[in-house]
Every structure is written in structure tokens, then in C-alpha cells.
Amino acid sequence: MARLFSFIQRIYTETEICLPAHHSCSALLLWSDTFVRYPERTMARLDLSSVAPLPAELLRKGTTGTELRSQELVCFHGEPDLERIMLGEGMAGTRVCHGAISEETILEWAWESWRMAVGPPMRQPYGRLIELMNAGCLRGANERDVGECWREELEMPDLARLVDRLWQDVKPFYQKLHAVVRYFVRRRHPESASLIDTDGLIPAHLLGGMWSHSWTSYARSILPHPVDIDQRFHRANWTAIDLVRRAEDLYASLGLERMSETFWNRSVIGNESIVKCHGTAANMYAPSDYRMIVCPPKDGGTLQDYYVTVHEMGHIVYYMEAAKQPTIFQDGTNAAFQEAFGDAMFLAAVTPQHLVRLSLLDSKHMAPDSDASNGLDGTLNSFDYAFLLRVALTKVPTIPFEYLMDVYRWDLFDGSVNYGQDVNSYFWYLLEGEQGIRAPSVVPRDALFDAGAGFHLSDNTPFVRYFLASFLSYQIYEGLCKGSLYGTVRANPVNEIPMPLHRCDLYGSKKAGKLLRKALAPGASVHWTTVLEQLTGEVNISAASMLKYYAPLIDFLDRFIDEHQLVVGWTD
């Protein structure tokens, strides 16, 4: 099992998509000039006419593809290179014929070539891994599969039903965002507009990110505003160390511990030379030894880079607060809380007040709009709506994908889906039905293994923790706001937050810090419901805080949909 996981992890982290440094710039030749460099430096030409799984033996022996010297190639890893292309970051610097070929063609090439390269060699080994993992989850006479083992770790009875309920609670909000973004996808991409029905699925490569999980680039089209926070971050020209220092300052302002000397000496911060540069935090289980990997670009980070930094530092702060526990308990009360804490702190890191504090926003954008003719709530201003939209387009589209990645794997693990013939068709059945997206029509999909193109499958990390964290983070943030204002999280009409939730500034709140230290210090030694009750006054995970956070935006979407007579939902 270890050998197989090592194999598919290397496929994900070391595979590169390559082009000749001086290739001809046309859509057809872009594909004919595309090569894949696999681990062990073997090369293969991508063939659009015949897509078939590459056996592991072929990769070990070398392929018959054209051999090209490394100095003649421009090569791209999946992360961060192709992901940045898919997010629209630095398209001009990609050297993929920018300007000579349409943006749609480049996006389709990046999206499809990565899946064609890494999915097929993972397909057969992953099927064998499922057999081995299932065998490891057998206990006595109980016939269990690895999905049950994963769900058991979270200590949530009937987790599958809880996950489905939470998704159904937030799905109407997602569908409204989808309807509005579909309207602007059709306007931005005229080449594809005729292929996208007004009530249809959106081509996956046109939305943003390798998994259609970040729709941020459409924010300025939907709600134009003179303040672009991503541009403000970029112009601030913060180094990677600057980003980490500002994240540390946020946590320290609440009275939480600062990072150790070992952290600063041994973390990988801003080193773009490493191959695997996926944001990571680690507890080394030695005194004060906590480390982090974050690799924002050298030419200035974005809001997304700030998010990754704040999120990963949240893991480390949790480790530090639980350090007095026996080793087995020096973790979050469960994996979902580990993910949720940093996300809750990110919501505090991007309040308008804190953005003013970071010199990223002028204080005039804190005042209500005097002009009510724009149809917006007069207690807020246009920046509030533009920024809520920016955050929503980044965070909300991840929710269905987090949901589907584990529903998909659970069904593979328990045998509900025939792995051999249905492994990819079932994946797209889920994405089309729940996420409202479809694959481009470049290549047939039956022989591919598109789920393997994501980091967390090759890393064998359950996704449900991130899905639950998406809801918990808003609950924890609201609880910390109440604790900061009133010293208690208990439900009480008198204790309602007297401002829109996204404007609750936690910076410097020792009350919120005290609440956190009490909740985090027990680590995994207490049940998650105890921690949730301490932080929120509730014992159930709910979508209510998330929907409260975005309430002004949801009102705006409703008005926009009515005004433009948009269809909410999709048909395939």
C-alpha cells in the first residue's frame, strides 16, 4: 500500500506538462506540441485521438515518446503553475502563446492536459489501493470499508446524512451564485456562449481553478468597485515573510502564542524551488517545533495567499495550545475542527476594519452609502457587497466539490459503483448533478480518471473534514464575535451582534482569545460537541451562521436574478 501511494503521489507532485520553448502558436499545434514529463524524467506526447490508461510498468521503463532536452522545454507543474493559469493569475507570464491564442483555448489546454497526464496512470493503482485499504478496515466479523473508517474518526453518528442535510441547506445559495456567474460566463466567453444554455451546465474550465472551485475572477463583472482587494494585496508587495508576520500578528493580538524560533528557522516560507508546494502545517512533536510550507509568488501575494497563510497558521496555533496534552491528544478535537479554526480566523482577518488596519482599504469605505439609488441596503456601502461577493465566489463554490469528493469515494469504497467501467462516468454524474458543471468536449472521458487530478486523492486525505469546516468556521466566527462583545456565547436576544456579521472585528479581543484558549487547550481529549458548545453555545453543526454572514449578498443576488430574469438551477 505504501509503495502504491508513493507511486500516485509522485505522479501528482512530479509530473509536468511541457511545451517546446519556441513552439508554433495555434490552437491545433498547441496540442500537438504538448508533452508530459513523468517521474524518472520519462517523456510522452499527449495524444488527443487515443486516451488510454498508462500502465505503471511503462512509466518505470520509459515511454516511446519523443525525447527532448530539458533546456528546450517550458514545463508546468499542476501546483502551482497550471493552477495559477486556471485562476487567471499571471496569464501573460505563462509563455503559453498569450495573445496569440484565446484565453478559452489556454484554459481548456491547461485543464485537459493535466487530467490526461496524471489521471490514467493513477487509475489502476488506485483501484488496487481501495482493495488494500478495505482489507485494513476489517474488524473481527464486521465487514467494513475504508469509508466507514474515515467517517468513524469524526465521531458523528450518521455522518452521511448530516453532510447531505448541510449541503441541501446551502445549495439554494450556491444555485443563485451559479445562475449569476453563468450569465457572465456567457458574456465573457463568446466562443462558448452558444454552447451554454441559459439553464445549462457551465464548462468546468471557464469558472476558475483546476476544480472550478474559485469563481473570483467574475466578481468585478458582477459588482464593479474601484477597490480591488487582490490588486491592493499585490501592490502592497508583501514578501512571504510579510504575509506570515501579519498572520501571526492577528493571532497574537488575541493573546495567543507567537511562532517559535524553530518555526522561523525550519519552515519553508516562499521557497518556490520545491516541487510540492501545497500549503501545509506540521507538528513535529518536539518542544516548540512546528513548521509550515507556504509559497506565495515572489511578485506579491493575493488574498488567496493570505488565506492559505492564516489557515495553515491556525493549525499550528491549535497544536501549540494543545501541547500540554499527552501526545495522542495533541491535535484538534477532530479533523474538521482543525480545518475550521484557521478558516474562522480568516473571516476575522478580512473584516473591513482589519483591512483598513493593514492599509489595504481606505477608512472612507467603512461609512454607509449616502446614495440609496443603487438599491443596496443603506446601512452598508458598495464595498461591503463587492467584498462579500469576492469572498463568496472564493469559498462557496468549494462546498459542493468537498461534498462530492467524499460521496464519490465512499461509493467506490463500499462497492456501490463498479470501479472498472464506471469510475469516471460516475464522477461526472455527481459533478453535473450537484455542482452544475460539465467537462469540455475535447477528449472522451471513459478511459480517464479525473478525480486523480486533485491533490487530496493522491494524498489520501478525506474531504469531508473540509466540507464540515466550511460550516463550522462561520459558526465559530459568530461565536467568537459574541464572546468578544458580551463575554458569553449563550443564545440571548440581548446578545445579538449589533452589526452585519462580516463586520465583526476580533483583532485585539482578549475575550475572544480567552475563549479560544479554553476550547483549544484540551486538544483531542474532549468530544467535539464540547468544543463546539464552548465556542458557539450550540452542539449541532449548522448552515445558519454562514447564511447570516452572506445575508446582504443573498438579497443582492435575488434582486439581480429578478431584474435579469435568470434561471436558477440547471438541466443536463
Q: Which residues contact 40 (CB under 8 A, 6 or more apart)?
A: 59, 60, 62
Residues forming the annotated binding site for Zn(2+)? 311, 315, 339
**What does each C-alpha distance from 108 to 3, 277, 559 come to in angstroms?**
33, 23, 33
Q: Report yes or no: 127 and 118 within 8 Å, Cβ to Cβ.
A: no
SS3 content of the chain, % helix, strand, coil (to 5): 60, 5, 35
Nearest 10 degrees: Cα torsion 86, 87, 88, 91: -60
Cα 353 to Cα 500: distance, rounded to the nearest angstrom: 13
Q: What are phi and psi of 308, to 5 degrees?
A: -60, -40
Instruction: Say which residue the cell 474532549 belongs to.
Output: 526
Residues taking part in catalysis: 312, 456
Residues forming the annotated binding site for chloride? 465
Secondary structure of residue 75 in the 3-state scheme: strand
Q: Report yes or no: 204 and 182 within 8 Å, Cβ to Cβ.
A: no
Secondary structure of residue 168 in the 3-state scheme: helix
Cα 62 to Cα 200: distance, rounded to the nearest angstrom: 43
31 residue type, one letter: W
User: In angstroms, how far is CA 236 from the centroid of its own chain?
Assistant: 24
Cα 516 to Cα 321: distance, rounded to the nearest angstrom: 9
Burial 1-34 (b: 16+ CB within 10 A, else e): eeebbebbbbbbbbbbbbbeeebeeeeeebbebb
Q: Report yes or no: 258 and 252 within 8 Å, Cβ to Cβ.
A: yes
Cα 319 to Cα 521: distance, rounded to the nearest angstrom: 9
Question: Side by side, which strands form the sheet with 35-37?
Answer: 43-45, 35-37, 16-20, 73-77
Q: Which residues contact 357 (CB under 8 A, 6 or more apart)?
A: 507
Q: Report yes or no: 386 and 226 within 8 Å, Cβ to Cβ.
A: no
CA torsion sign, 275 to 279 to 285 to 287? positive
C-alpha cell at 387: 467584498
